[in-house]
Amino acid sequence: MEPDRTEDVIAQELAAREVTARFVEVRARIAQACEDAGRDRASVQLVAVSKTFGAEHIAPVIKAGQRVFGENRVQETAGKWPALRAAHPDLELHLIGPLQTNKVREALSLFDVIQTLDRPSLAAALAKELRREGAAPAPRLLVQVNTGEEPQKAGVAPGEVDAFLAECRDTHGLAIDGLMCIPPADEPAAPHFALLAKIAARHGLKTLSMGMSGDFETAIALGATHVRVGSAIFGGR
Ligand SMILES: *Cc1c(COP(=O)(O)O)cnc(C)c1O
């Protein structure tokens, strides 16, 4: 073996070990947060957010036992996940980024869960595609709520969630599993998590996707069923 090739192999091995160590640490922190909150560990799922990272970073995390991953772009997912899926048929993929209506068909072929249902036109496009003969099986759907009412951020305003849920159900026949939010970066997250939990409870929705690397323990304390953790596992992007 050429010396520089050996260095590459060693560097990759070290990187894989680092990712694995961080993953194990995140899992331990989730278990501790569940214990602190008096919650069953099985009631919280880790969605490992692998956006921007290649298969060489993802493979060690799969090897360490993780099966649920989050991606924010359809194109990137189409490029890197089919091979990993073929090797690991029990993987589950969540779309956590905005979905354009013209990518709905492709998204349905790639994702088991779409966490970012955020507008009527997308609900209509999903419903239409799911009615098509030969369509992919229906994914689980979460409605993204713009809890901070930030103009630049996707999501349904808190005051419009009730009407949007009714529209999804009554007009489009879509079953909604729960809610998701991304709190404003410059505010404490807890009030946003509490608001999301309150809206979900009002509708009897059981799935709550909230909490990222910086605040997943807080989210677990406030009822998150899914935490989306990227950089704490894979490193900075
Ligand atoms: C990137 C991303 C995450 C993960 O963020 P980290 O801070 O790296 O854990 C979670 N949710 C969404 C919607 C994201 O886009």
Residues 147-174: tens digit of each pLDDT: 999 999 999 999 999 999 999 999 999 9
Percent of the chain surpassing pLDDT 70: 99
pLDDT confidence of residue 1: 52
* 182 CB near ligand 1 (under 6 Å): yes
Q: Rounded to two decimals, what is the model's pTM?
A: 0.96
* 155 CB near ligand 1 (under 6 Å): no
* Nearest partner of 126 among 81, 95, 161, judged by Cα: 95
pLDDT confidence of residue 68: 98
Burial environment of residue 16 by CB neighbours within 10 A (0 to 12, 13 to 18, 19 or more): middle
Q: Say whether 32 sits in a helix, a strand or coil.
A: helix
Domain ranges of the chain: 5-234
Nearest CA to ligand 1 atom 12: 96
Q: 72, 94, 215: which to mutate for ligand 1, most atoms within 8 A of CB?
A: 72
The CA 163 to ligand 1 mean position distance, Å, reads 27
The class that CATH gives domain 5-234 is alpha beta
pLDDT confidence of residue 135: 82
Quick one: which atom of ligand 1 is closest to the CA of 182?
13
The CA 70 to ligand 1 mean position distance, Å, reads 9
> Alpha carbon of 63 to those of 22, 23, 54, 82: distances in Å?
14, 11, 15, 17
State which residues of the chain have pLDDT below 50. Answer: none
pLDDT confidence of residue 186: 95
Any alpha helices (H) in 38-138, and if so which ranges?
Answer: 55-63, 74-87, 104-110, 120-131
